[in-house]
Amino acid sequence: MVNTLGKSNNGSAFGRSIPRVEARAKVTGKAEYVHNLRLPGMLYGKVFRSTVAHARIRGVDVSAARELPGVHAVYTAADIMKLVPDPHYGPAFHDQPVLAIDKVRHVGEPVALVLAADPHVAEAAAQMISADYEELPAVFDEVEAMTSKAVVHEVLKPAGTFPDLKHLKGKRDTNIALDFHLRRGDAQKAFAEADHVFEHSFRTQQVLHVPLEPFVTVADPTPNQLVIHTASQSPSFVRIEIARLLGWPESRVRVKVPYLGGGFGAKLYIKLEALVAIAALLAGRPVKISLTMEEQFYQITKHAATLRIKSGVSKDGKILARECEVWWNGGAYADIGPRVTQKSGFTAPGPYDIEHVAIDSYALYTNLPAAGALRGFGIPQLVWAYESHTDMIAKALNIDPLAIRRKNILREGRPQATGTLMRDAGIEQVLERLAQRMQWEKTFDRGSGSVRRGRGIAIGFKASISPTTSVAIVNVSADGSVMVNCSTVDMGQGSDTAMAQIVAEALGIPVGSVTLVHPDTDVTPYDMATLGSRSTYHMGHAVKLAAEDARDKLVALAREVGLSAETVPIPDIFRRKYGMQAGNIVGVGSFIPAYAPPDAQGQTDNATPFWMIGATGAEVEVDTETGEFKVTRLVNLVDVGRPVNPAIVETQISGATMMQLGFTLTERMDFDAGQVTNASLADYRIPGIRDVPAVMENEAVDMVQKSGPFGAKGVGESGTFGVSPAIASAIDDAVGVRLTSLPLTAEAVYRGVRANAGRPLED
Amino acid sequence: MVNTLGKSNNGSAFGRSIPRVEARAKVTGKAEYVHNLRLPGMLYGKVFRSTVAHARIRGVDVSAARELPGVHAVYTAADIMKLVPDPHYGPAFHDQPVLAIDKVRHVGEPVALVLAADPHVAEAAAQMISADYEELPAVFDEVEAMTSKAVVHEVLKPAGTFPDLKHLKGKRDTNIALDFHLRRGDAQKAFAEADHVFEHSFRTQQVLHVPLEPFVTVADPTPNQLVIHTASQSPSFVRIEIARLLGWPESRVRVKVPYLGGGFGAKLYIKLEALVAIAALLAGRPVKISLTMEEQFYQITKHAATLRIKSGVSKDGKILARECEVWWNGGAYADIGPRVTQKSGFTAPGPYDIEHVAIDSYALYTNLPAAGALRGFGIPQLVWAYESHTDMIAKALNIDPLAIRRKNILREGRPQATGTLMRDAGIEQVLERLAQRMQWEKTFDRGSGSVRRGRGIAIGFKASISPTTSVAIVNVSADGSVMVNCSTVDMGQGSDTAMAQIVAEALGIPVGSVTLVHPDTDVTPYDMATLGSRSTYHMGHAVKLAAEDARDKLVALAREVGLSAETVPIPDIFRRKYGMQAGNIVGVGSFIPAYAPPDAQGQTDNATPFWMIGATGAEVEVDTETGEFKVTRLVNLVDVGRPVNPAIVETQISGATMMQLGFTLTERMDFDAGQVTNASLADYRIPGIRDVPAVMENEAVDMVQKSGPFGAKGVGESGTFGVSPAIASAIDDAVGVRLTSLPLTAEAVYRGVRANAGRPLED
């Protein structure tokens, strides 16, 4: 196959369900993961963690651990501070110490680190460490945290990474890490004038991401650079943050990420990389830390949230005004929580065309493990609340759930709560397609006797993170094959394949001619991170721009040597120029979308480069004698713009749906005084293959994101949006029980059935 | 340190003797070499080699080896051909089989390969292999090869890589792999008219490069790519050649080169990489081959040569005409020998202004191990001959050696033998500076009794390889630190440091802000190879162009956001654009010098992008009773343009000088029917620290290569040029013995002394 620019792929690179480029590596067990990495002289690190939720540290006794044969070193914060005087890190706030300094703020907080060549020795030594604590009052509930005297951090320390958080610097004696407010119109006045006002509260639980690959990092202190191999979704950020901590130039830190065994936000920004990096520098040897499953429950969790929604509605079901209050339980360290609060905040009223809106969203510090990003970045929690609320209004007004949505949804060109006009947002199309697939307007078999059936629909939307930057290099070899250097992490979502398809489409060459280089900050340029369904759009643009730059340079080269790049094979152009198979054409692409920051009222005319839309229809069967229910059908529809690779898009939708199904039905971290009481996969149950609903339909609705690369947009999260409320509404439809707290359990349903029947169970 | 474009290095990046960037890695033993690499499941390969010089293979019995416990596989050519039907490789000719097919053409030729997880098992198994040969007449001498009936290759198979060799394709029954001819003026007519005609013949021996790191390659067949870690000077070429053999796109082959423990041409183009790569693919596991020192004598050697020079000279010493005939003993496979023949050919008359020139240069196949490139690429051999010849003429005409050179040297602006005008070639300056340092025109103590003293001078020049291409990427991070991606191999010559200095100079930032990425064909763009002292000039240009491209983009970015890149620190420009520490500016540089190919007469007006000039003055002390002599003083002067790093330039001059001292005094591969009889460092003696002359002075003459990056040019070979003839002339000056064959031995001197005294020794 000899590639000619624009001629060699029959236009079939984009939009085809080609196999993933990494399929062979994965099924043969040869794909590289950080877990597989062993370096000469490498030490294993084991973390000694706090057993109390909030306490002053009187002392840490590491003497026995240090004396255990085989132990190379034991470090506490004092050791860390020899190298890094102020060892606090974090993306939104520099609030998290590498190892606890003076205080611990949650159970599981790293207090000391043992290094040994044998991981079992490190483990045994860690168990010989003891700490003496003076316990302090703790706060665990996010709403209580608003006013609690138990203050987790004395002073707020925003990181400066995100300029919109800077104003919080230096605030004292508050657990509010961020408060986001949006005002549009006059909600209070509208409530006063409305026919009906409804107000409901909802709660979501703290959950875990559970990527199949637990978090793992290896740091290698080579003479010229500190090389960090890490299972991270954000190699560029890790490099910048480690360089900042060490006071080094970025170029002295090299971050490499091979494949990831799932991310889902659990591996975003920076987790234990700082501890591993500093330990490796102190030890002068490579250091590896891999978390156990139990440790992950204390390191990487997701916000619980309390949500209150109040709507003023006309008697025919038009929503006139909405007030949302959201309290996010951020745990002891901010991680990216303040951004979740802010970025999900402005879509809290849902995909509805509401004239008067008031939103107050709070990121709260509590004495729980730090909460960070998780697939959906707060949106599934919001959709859970506002779509349950929508159906509760509909039921109260005796309006059909589809009809109330048709009346209120945000249509193309209308302003969203921020004032940003909706563009290329298929809310209407997705809703109508859902109605079709659900045969919503046909008769539905509601069951009989003790087996009752019900159905529900829900629709949600999400803005993309903005503004963020992606840079890529497309390198054309003299034989016409192509290397793509980009820092997008393939964590199972298929980004390698998608980027190869976009580059192949842009150059008009076969996908097989394109090879991806995995993230390595020395050679793959900056990318903000692999998060928020941003890669297809942002990095997709960057690789497309890079490919176009390469194409332009190739056309210019051909012209220079008297050939036409449109008809002459690429190798012939190089050969004419260089006299042999030689040279490279290197194209560069850099992309940052336009963006307008919100004003003090939260208003902006450009809140996001694109909108993600997802809707779910659910059918359930409920046993009224036990409360047991099963989801018999789940229909998931997503506006993905033009799908880069339909088969991969389908797995993104189904994967997102199943993940949200777990959060809807079974997953919840249970706490006792800040201690997780179900920190194992035996007790914390994620969905298995038998939990897949008998009928599950996933569809990418036919749309085009005009501003996207070849019409594409992000798709990794949209499948999560509608799952929880659709199922809750289906249960209510079946047995008249409205659950307002996740997860939805048989017990709660049974209690509802009994209460409806006037026979409530005692607690 | 916050970098501002053009402001942050006080103009001190270029031309300063900063420590090498890799110094710390090397002195702490942490620098990476391929030898250190062990991969999971890796097999060690051991080569079974021919014991005869020329034979048809009747059969190879590998059965016992295959049955040895622990042996994974034994491959012969038949196995190789299952994967690669025509497994012939080579840079100039595709003439070298991966394993011998039907015939062996030199002792030591690889015939079979054993793979085992334990290298000792592989070694033991290789010794259990036997081959049945039908011996053929062999030819070993290069001049005999011109007419011998023993033909090494039936048909010539040029590779196509170098277009100027293509015309040889299909030639039969000749050992002449290339004949180069140049005609300028009418040498025969000039000889007839000259006052004197002198003709002398010279010979140089076959030698070994002896890098401290023997040749080693690991090939790793990953699912998507074949990854080759190799101690190679030419990663780009290895990638292209392996991809060609396999019929794969370049992008499926990834070649990585860490540090090299010396190269000197021994690791150029492709050596055993093809065998290792194909074996790894056949075995489905990583394979490593590292050569023993003994094996290197059969794998990587340098041409012996016979040189005849004839000059027509006026009675006052003006050289009017010169005829050169050179026969290069290329061994059994062409490797890059034809290019040595051709590229050194046109400078064979030396740095002299001669009106009438005739050159005939021949690359010959013989049944010796293949000869390839070695520091100087044929020039030290030529200088040895033409400078000995110069002094023999001077002596015959009773002209001072300095005077005859002053009369004849090529001065700036004069045409060289090809017709190309000399530009920025400091022949005159180097010669005059040598005369000064040698105090040539002062009295010289000639010794007395049995201890006689003499002195000699010699000057040589070399063209750079042309036209060749270098491409580089300069990547500026948001904090103003910089990564340089280039495929130049740092093999001890200090290229990492030089490139960092050039980039820092171009951007006006400190060298410490610049980090080099080692060759990795996925991410470092094409470079022809690290050879021929081309890197400082060619890659120096490429990285400078890339830095300038980055600078221009940074200036444009600053302008876009309303700042001035000349006054505002780099991080502030990024932050204004991206709102946070984000993004990269990626500059690309691609360089190929102008070049005009020679016509049928060898004439061109642009033979080379720059000239290298080197001169040596030697003083010796000879014991007339034994012939023993020692070099008491060696003065080496080189035109290096503007030195990038004077301290490194000095080590290049002294290193080249010492290497040539070994070839001058002690090194010679001895053969018996094609078998090397001194294939060990006990018998083949390279210079040690005690061989350094008591007085050794090295100087970079103050010059500027106007076309070079910041005035620099290549320097790695120039120190070799004058060493051999300067010492030979010094011996002649001391005791009147003119040696015409290298190495110069005490025995030869003693024989000369005896012959001069009328008492010749019997042979």
Q: What is the pLDDT of residues A450-492, one digit of tens each?
A: 999 999 999 999 999 889 999 999 999 999 999 999 999 999 9
Q: Is B616 on the interface with A (CB under 8 A)?
A: no
Looking at the predicted structure, is the pLDDT value of residue A1 above 70? no
In Å, what is the CA distance from A171 to each residue of A142, A156, A166, A176, A640?
A: 19, 5, 11, 9, 41
**Residue B301 contacts residue B343 (beta carbons within 8 Å):** no
- Which two three-digit tokens encode residue B258? 């860490």
Q: Encode pLDDT of A264-293 as tens digits.
A: 999 999 999 999 999 999 999 999 999 999
- Which two three-digit tokens encode residue A548? 């176009």
Task: State the average pLDDT over residues A128-133.
Answer: 98
Closest-CA residue of chain A to B236: A582
A423 CB burial (10 A radius; 0-12, 13-18, 19+): middle
**Residue B380 Cα, gap to closest chain A Cα (Å):** 28
Q: Tell me the chain B residues in contact with residue A514 when contact means C-beta distances shorter than 8 Å.
A: 251
Report the pLDDT value the prediction gives residue A12, as an integer from 0 to 100. Answer: 83
Enter the pTM of the model.
Answer: 0.95
The helix-helix angle for A273-283 and A235-246 (nearest 10°) equals 50
**Residue A504 contacts residue A9 (beta carbons within 8 Å):** yes
**Residue B595 contacts residue B35 (beta carbons within 8 Å):** no
Q: In 3-state terms, what secondary structure has residue A577? A: helix
CB < 8 Å from A in window 23-52 of B: 24-25, 28, 30-31, 36, 40
B532 CB burial (10 A radius; 0-12, 13-18, 19+): buried
**Residue B466 Cα, gap to closest chain A Cα (Å):** 11
Report the pLDDT value the prediction gives residue B169, as an integer from 0 to 100. Answer: 87
The helix-helix angle for A723-735 and A379-397 (nearest 10°) equals 30
Task: State the average pLDDT over residues A132-136.
Answer: 98
Q: Tell me the chain A residues in contact with residue B523 when contact means C-beta distances shorter than 8 Å.
A: 475, 483, 485, 517, 520, 522-524
User: Is A697 a catalytic site residue?
Assistant: no
Q: Tell me the chain A residues in contact with residue B509 when contact means C-beta distances shorter than 8 Å.
A: none
More confident position, A158 or B380: B380
Closest-CA residue of chain B to A253: B515
- Which two three-digit tokens encode residue B758? 């009328």
DSSP at A691: G
Q: In whole angstroms, give the CA distance from residue A210 to residue B2.
A: 41
A517/B515 touch (CB, cutoff 8 Å), yes or no: no
| Phi, psi values for residue B37, rounded to 5° | -80, 125
Name B93's bridge partners. B158
Among the partner-chain residues A240, A478, A522, the one whose CB lies closest to the CB of B517 is: A522
Residue bearing tokens 């020679």? B598
**How many residue pairs bridge chain A and chain B with CB atoms within 8 Å of each other?**
169
Q: Kindly provide the ipTM of the predicted complex, given to two decimals.
A: 0.94
Number of other CB atoms surrounding residue A155 within 10 Å: 12
The residue ranges of chain B whose pLDDT is under 50 are none
Long-range residue pairs from A667-672, CB within 8 A, at least 24 positions apart, any chain: A667/A205, A667/A207, A667/A208, A667/A743, A668/A205, A668/A206, A668/A207, A668/A742, A668/A743, A669/A205, A669/A206, A669/A207, A669/A208, A669/A297, A669/A301, A671/A140, A671/A206, A671/A368
Q: Residues in chain B, how many? A: 763
- Please report, as a single letter, which amino acid is at residue A204: T
Mutant choice from A28, A516, A586 vs B, greatest count of B C-beta within 10 A: A586
Report the pLDDT value the prediction gives residue A166, as an integer from 0 to 100. Answer: 77
Q: Encode pLDDT of B456-506 as tens digits.
A: 999 999 999 889 999 999 999 999 999 999 999 999 999 999 999 999 999
Q: Encode pLDDT of A705-760 as tens digits.
A: 999 999 999 999 999 999 999 999 999 999 999 999 999 999 999 999 999 999 99
Report the pLDDT value the prediction gives residue B2, as an integer from 0 to 100. Answer: 86
DSSP at A106: S
Task: State the average pLDDT over residues A534-545.
Answer: 98
Q: In whole angstroms, give the CA distance from residue B448 to residue A354.
A: 112
A523/B517 touch (CB, cutoff 8 Å), yes or no: yes
Q: In whole angstroms, give the CA distance from residue B519 to residue B263.
A: 15
**Residue B20 contacts residue B259 (beta carbons within 8 Å):** no
- Which two three-digit tokens encode residue A199? 């107000």
Report the pLDDT value the prediction gives residue A433, as an integer from 0 to 100. Answer: 98
Q: Is B586 on the interface with A (CB under 8 A)?
A: yes
Mutant choice from A27, A42, A523 vs B, greatest count of B C-beta within 10 A: A523
CA-wise closest residue to A742 among A52, A94, A274, A205: A205
A469/B582 touch (CB, cutoff 8 Å), yes or no: yes
Q: Encode pLDDT of A373-403 as tens digits.
A: 999 999 999 999 999 999 999 999 999 999 9
> How many CA atoms, within 13 angstroms, populate the side-chain half-sphere of residue B387?
30
Q: Which residues contact A386 (CB under 8 A, 6 or more apart)?
A: A309, A324, A348, A349, A350, A460, A725
CB < 8 Å from B in window 410-469 of A: 467-469
From the CA atom positions of chain A, what is the Rg in Å?
27
Return the percent helix, strand and coil in chain B, to nearest 5.
30, 25, 45
Q: In whole angstroms, give the CA distance from residue B339 to residue B328.
A: 11
B582/A526 touch (CB, cutoff 8 Å), yes or no: yes
Q: In whole angstroms, give the CA distance from residue A101 to residue A475.
A: 47
CA-wise closest residue to B465 among B555, B537, B568: B537
Phi-psi region of A65 (alpha: psi -120 to 50; beta: other; left: phi over 0): alpha
Task: State the average pLDDT over residues A433-442.
Answer: 97
Q: Is B479 on the interface with A (CB under 8 A)?
A: yes
Number of other CB atoms surrounding residue B39 within 10 Å: 16
| Phi, psi values for residue A97, rounded to 5° | -75, 145
Number of other CB atoms surrounding residue A2 within 10 Å: 12
Closest-CA residue of chain A to B579: A163
Q: How confident is the model at residue A181 (pLDDT cuts 50, 70, 90)?
A: very high
Residue bearing tokens 């499941």? B41
Q: Is A683 on the interface with B (CB under 8 A)?
A: no
Q: In 3-state terms, what secondary structure has residue A230? A: strand
Q: In whole angstroms, give the CA distance from residue A231 to residue A211.
A: 11
B223/A478 touch (CB, cutoff 8 Å), yes or no: no
Number of other CB atoms surrounding residue A63 within 10 Å: 11
Residue bearing tokens 């130039």? A249
B21/A252 touch (CB, cutoff 8 Å), yes or no: no
**CA B139, B145, B151, B155 torsion-angle sign:** positive
Task: State the average pLDDT over residues A643-656.
Answer: 96
A744-761: b (≥16 Cβ within 10 Å) or e: bbeebbbbbbeeeeeeee
Report the pLDDT value the prediction gives residue A344, as an integer from 0 to 100. Answer: 83
